[in-house]
Amino acid sequence: MTRARRLGLAALLLTLAADQASKLWVLFGLALLPGQAIRFTPFVDLVFTWNRGISFSMFQMEGDIGRWGLTAFMLVASAGLAVWLWRTRDVLVALGLGLIVGGALGNAIDRIAYGAVFDFIRLDLKLFLWPAIFNIADAAIVVGVIVLLYDSLKPRGGNAPELP
């Protein structure tokens, strides 16, 4: 197994495990009620919310058609990204893909088990209150996309033409 593949699979599995463990801890260990918030650190609140949409609660989907449609989309997209992860030899690309797939699978598990994604992290940075409540899977997806964007913009070796 290549180094890139090992790193990508490790990122996927660690993301998935951290996401599901944190959700189970907040859901069942803290006994929060929907909408209830507690101060976790000076800049992080834990807030119980269900997200029936996608990132930042956009495109809210009520009912089984939306639930299963989003779940199917997430699983198909995850499968395609997992194939890319399996084929890449680039460590940075594998890391980004592992984070994205692990996060997408974590949120898909929520949709299957609960009918919605459990979000619970709100940042309060004193300068501003982060407008969205999210979870570890969401954060991993964002970081994974940033890693892929960075990789796509970094200079490549070879015979690149010089600019005048």
Residues annotated as catalytic are 119, 138
Q: How would you class 154 by CB atoms within 10 Å of its CB: exposed for 0-12, middle for 13-18, buried for 19 or more? A: exposed
Query: Distances in Å between the alpha carbon of 61 and those of 46, 54, 68?
Result: 24, 9, 10
Q: Tell me the HSE value of 112 on the side-chain side, using a 13 A CA sphere.
A: 12
Using only the alpha carbons of the chain, give its radius of gyration: 18
* Greatest Cα pair distance in the chain: 63
Query: Distances in Å between the alpha carbon of 69 and those of 34, 59, 64, 114, 115?
Result: 25, 12, 8, 15, 11
